Amino acid sequence: MSVAEPRRIVLLRHAKADWPQVSDHERPLAERGRKDAAVAGRKLADTAITFDLALCSTAARTRETWKLAVHELAHRPKTIYEERVYEASPGELIALFNEVPDDVRNVILIGHNPGVHGLADILAGSAEGDARERMNRRGFPAAGFALLSCGGPWKGLEPGTATLTDYWAPSE
């Protein structure tokens, strides 16, 4: 792969979680969340992106979201369950992307708000467009995702270096 080829990043927020008497890290998906995670997977399949790598939070709700979403994809990427995604700030998430090997082209991150929404905003910088307007209007609901495109090596990913090319929320 040439470094000039665009890389794609999908930032997927976990689906709707339930609130049983367990620690936040162990919260499972609610019934609606299980349905929305599968729908999100089908919408991801519609993008026709072949993911090389999935970075997934270790929280129960993100693992369950990914398990249901990836089932809808034609290709199952290598998945790394990464503790650092849980409760990560946008800067911490950028640092994770900076560690991705350059032979990886397309990455999906399954994480949490506010980090995922903040990362989409920060990477896209001040650029406007339909996807940005929809994301700003709807926020970043559970099971929603943002698709960004960027060039250059992963070590060069920083604020404003990506383009928000698509956004999807279960209510769309």
Helix (H, G, I), strand (E, B) or coil at 8: strand
Q: Are 70 and 76 in contact (CB under 8 A)?
A: yes
Which is more confidently placed, 52 or 128?
52
Domain covering 7-24+31-105+113-168: architecture: 3-Layer(aba) Sandwich (3.40)
Query: pLDDT tens digits, residue range 97-147?
Result: 999 999 999 999 999 999 999 999 999 987 788 999 999 899 999 999 999
Strands of the 78-81 sheet, one edge to the other: 78-81, 53-56, 106-111, 7-13, 145-150, 162-168
32 is in an annotated binding site: no
Please tell me the predicted confidence (pLDDT) of residue 2: 46
Please tell me the predicted confidence (pLDDT) of residue 4: 61
Six token digits for residue 109: 């991150």
In this model, does residue 1 exceed pLDDT 80?
no
Tell me the one-letter amino acid at 32. R
Six token digits for residue 136: 């700003």
Please tell me the predicted confidence (pLDDT) of residue 16: 98
Which is more confidently placed, 3 or 168?
168
Instruction: Work out the angle between the directed axes of helices 31-46 and 60-70 (0-180°, nearest 10).
Output: 50
Query: pLDDT tens digits, residue range 59-111?
Result: 999 999 999 999 999 999 999 999 999 999 999 999 999 999 999 999 999 99
